[in-house]
Amino acid sequence: MKTTFTIFKKELIDSIRDRRTLMAMVVIPLVMFPLLISISSRVIMSHVKKAKEKTLEIGLLTNDNALDLREMLKGNDAVRLIEYITIEEGRSLVEQDSLDAFIVIDKGFDRDVAEQKQGKISMYYKSAEDRDIERDRVEEILEDYEEKLRSARFESLGLDEAIIQTVNLSKHNLASIKERVAGVIGGFLPYLFIIFCFTGSMYPAIDLAAGEKERGTLETLLTSPAGKFQILMGKFGVVVLTGILSAAISIVGLYIGIIQMKEIPAELLNSILGILEAESIVLLLTLLLPLTAFFAGILLSVSILAKSFKEAQSMLTPLMIVVIVPAFIGLMPGMELTPKTALIPILNVSLATKSIIAGNINGALLAEAYVSLFAIAGLSLYSCSRVFGNEKSVFREA
């Protein structure tokens, strides 16, 4: 134990003094969340503000109908009306992004409305997204106009508008704000924590195995009285620690990122910060611990097999995809922690983290995930000790 600790201590000092490890373990996780949150919120806010405040360019072809709509549009300060254009010209201007929308009133619109029929209005717009602020604004104007006509029609018929509302549906979402926030960011966070665990472990694993082999220091270490398993455990401990630290630092980064958001409403901010309560973080880290041990075993095994730092890097980079895929599956809607998914490493961490954040984790399923993760971590360490014990892999030279 003393020897393992001696090796652990030395490897930790050595790793902390390595700039690449420090970058992957501390700088990136600490800086990434604040940067990501800050940049994306600023970009989104500025885009929304611009779309809400801009003067809408609306083309209108009335065909001498719906003149009150024309007056409505003309009286709206946020609208610049472009008239006296043909359908083809209007469509072309929309396609060229010169118009936000082109409204065409049917030739028989006034007559149809007068005969209590449906008046036809066509709206041309260009939008590749479900949500489009400019389009929504034009639709709001048209809905106001429709509302005005409907009220007039009910009044002329001497009817109450409520007559057409056969069902009064009252919706009550009982999900807490915490659950709703978790639904939005709960899938995204474990994805990032898993990636940080992996990248945080990757550089120390390469440096402490392939790097040491390449530098010729491993041979000397193996001639010391330290046993191979003790050496491996010292290195393994450091790789696990750096992975966990990297994920923990990313939580600090996330906290910094959230509190620096000034535009966020206080209630929402408190809910998001509620996700980062001590109990959730401890649970999250206990899930990440066996996962990182699993990563460490694989990373060290591959790294010991590699002849050089570069070879280890090129062998381990594709492994990132193997990590990303199950973590990504956890992001998909409808994916939940079940007796089956709780057994799948990485995916179980992703889904369990989502539930922990939402505050609705099932104890039995969490226990199942732990069993699966500790089993896979043990297996990974065992295979790593086999590789490290094999003189052929240790002395595979460049």
Partner 1 sequence: MIVVEDLWKTFKLSRQQKRERGDGRGPSVIHAVAGISFTCQPGRIFSLLGPNGAGKTTALRLIATLLKPTKGSITVAGYDVRTQSQEVRRRLGFLTGTTKLYERLTPNELVRYYANLHGMERGAFDKRKEELFSILDMHDFANRRIGKLSSGMRQKVSIVRTMIHDPDILVFDEPTVGLDVITSKNIIELIRSCKEAGKTVIFSTHIMGEVSLLSDDLAIIYNGELRFKGTHEEFKQQMQTRSLEAEFIRLLEEPRK
Cβ closest to partner 1, residue 70 vs residue 396: 396
Return the number of the residue (98 or 220) whose C-beta is nearest partner 1.
220
- Rounded to whole angstroms, the Cα distance separating 138 from 121 reads 13
Residues of the shown chain interacting with partner 1 in the complex, contacts defined by CB under 8 A:
2-3, 6-7, 10, 13-14, 17-18, 215-217, 219-227, 391-392, 395
Which residue's CB is nearer to partner 1, number 171 or number 392? Answer: 392
CA 143: distance to chain centroid? 35
Measured from the CB atom, the residue of 13 and 78 that comes closer to partner 1 is 13
Q: Which two tokens stand for residue 271?
A: 């809910």
Nearer to partner 1, 225 or 334 (CB): 225
Alpha helices by DSSP H, listed for 264-389, are 266-275, 278-305, 309-316, 319-329, 347-358, 363-389
Q: How many residues does the chain have?
A: 398
CA 371 – CA 227 distance, rounded (Å): 29
Q: Report, in Å, the least distance between residue 241 CB and partner 1.
A: 17
Q: Which of 296, 316, 236 is nearest to 12 (CA)?
A: 236
Residue 224 CB, nearest approach to partner 1 (Å) = 4
Provide the phi-psi class of 368: left if phi over 0, else alpha when psi is between -120 and 50, else beta: alpha
CB of 199 to partner 1, least distance (A): 21
Provide the β-strand partners of residue 124: 102
All residues at 6 or more sequence positions from 217 whose CB lies less than 8 Å from its CB, including other chains: none
Angle at 52 between CA 73 and CA 41, to 5 degrees: 170
Q: Write b or e for each residue in 51-84: b if 16 or more Cβ atoms lie within 10 A of its Cβ, otherwise e.
A: beeeebbbbbbbeebbeebbebbeebeebeebee
Q: Which residue's CB is nearer to partner 1, number 134 or number 207?
A: 207
Residue 20 C-beta: closest distance to partner 1, Å: 12
Nearer residue to partner 1 within complex by CB, 55 or 220: 220
